[in-house]
Each structure stands twice: as structure tokens, then as C-alpha cells.
Amino acid sequence: MNLILALDLKGGVVVHGRSGARESYRPLDWGLSSSAEPAAYLAALRPRHLYIADLDRIGGTGDHDGTIRDLARQVETCYVDAGFRSMDECRNARGFIAVLGTETAGEVLGDCPRALLSLDCRDGLVTPWGEDPVRSLLRVRHLAFAGHLLLDISAVGTGRGLDPDLLARVRAASERPLFYGGGVRSTADLDLLRDAGFDGAIVATAVHRGCIPLDAIRSGRWS
């Protein structure tokens, strides 16, 4: 299973997210990097795979396009949620793997075979549809995407752990490569995801707290 470091950008710096309350996010300067400046942060952690959320773009307040291009060139694989609001935006993305989030795309969904579709969940339900993730996967199963991401926004930064039953149900509902992010707290959770058949795990807080080895992030694999 691939191991992917999450990096949230807001106001030009790397921030620490918690439970999707983005107005309260603060610079991530307490972890394994002494700097929240994006280039310095990436140089300190040196991940193999990277997931970037441009929170300014998602919120419609700005962008980090140049920074993202620079960061993407420094890793083997870079996934980016830049708040895409149309299929053309998603299809025209270059230099990284686009992540189309249901939070911003809503009903504007179509084939995007090079992108991941992110099921953005709050309190267990996919935004904006207000439905169980399995129902959402059945809703979009006819669309061509490179894979699916189950992103528990409410669990981001909390380290609250995973629901094995949900993992099994979601894995059974998706025939595509499947990724998970939000609330992963330990190597035991990585084992759960691996054993459930997930193809990738997106992590950050547990790495900074020493609960997931930095060397694992640098190798990009969990086996």
C-alpha cells in the first residue's frame, strides 16, 4: 500500500488541519519541520508521495499554483485537490494527479480518467449529497476515474482512528484503486487499511507525532 504525506496550504504556508474547521488552521511549525514555509517543509520530510490540498482555492480566496508546481516536481507522485469546480479544470490539470472533491464539484461530475474522485465526508456523510459513502460510490461507478479517495474531513488531524466495517463496505463498493485519508492515528491503522485492500493511505498528524515512522513516508510504502 502506498503511503502519502498530506500537505495543506493556506495563506502561503503549510497549516495543520483539524476536523475541517479551516478558519482555525494554524501554521504547522511544531512537527518534524521547524518551518511552515512549503519548500523548507518538504525538504525536511522528503516524502516519496505527496497529497496537497490548496485550501485557499477550495475556499475561493486565492491559490498556490506556483508553489504546487514547484513541490510536485520534487516528489515521485503528487496528488492535488485545488478546489476544482468543473470537469474542464480537472481534465486540464498538468504536472500532478488531480483530485476532484465532491465538496467543490458537487453535481458537476463526468469522466476524468487521470484524476482521483474524492468522496469528501463530514460526520460520516458525503458532502454535498448527505449520503453514505457506499451509496455515493454506487452513484458514480459509471464514471471513468483513475481511483477513488475516501476523505473523512471531520477526522482530519484528530487521530481518532478508523471504522473497520466502513472500510470493508467501501472497498467492496469500488472496483478502482482506493485511497483513504483522515484520522489515521498509528501503524495499526495502516495495517487495517492494507488488510482491507486499500491502495493508499494519506497521513500527516500521526507522522509528526511519531506514531508513523518518517522512514515509511520516505519509502512511500507500507507492507
Q: What is the pLDDT of residues 142-158, one digit of tens each?
A: 999 999 999 998 877 66
22: left (phi over 0), alpha (psi -120 to 50) or beta: alpha
Which pLDDT score, from 0 to 100, does residue 156 have?
78
What percent of the chain is predicted at pLDDT more than 90? 79
Which pLDDT score, from 0 to 100, does residue 30 have?
82
Which pLDDT score, from 0 to 100, does residue 163 have?
92
The CATH architecture of the domain made up of 2-219 is Alpha-Beta Barrel (3.20)
pTM above threshold 0.85: yes
Q: Exposed e or buried b for every residue in 141-155, given b needs 16+ CB within 10 A?
A: eeeebbbbbbbbbbb
pLDDT tens digits, 173-188: 999 999 999 989 999 9
- Extract the residue ranges of the chain whose pLDDT is less than 50: none
Which pLDDT score, from 0 to 100, does residue 67 have?
97
Which pLDDT score, from 0 to 100, does residue 70 have?
97
Which pLDDT score, from 0 to 100, does residue 153 have?
87
CA distance 31 to 39: 15
C-alpha cell at 52: 496537497
Which pLDDT score, from 0 to 100, does residue 19 have?
59
Beta pairing class for 178-181 and 200-203: parallel
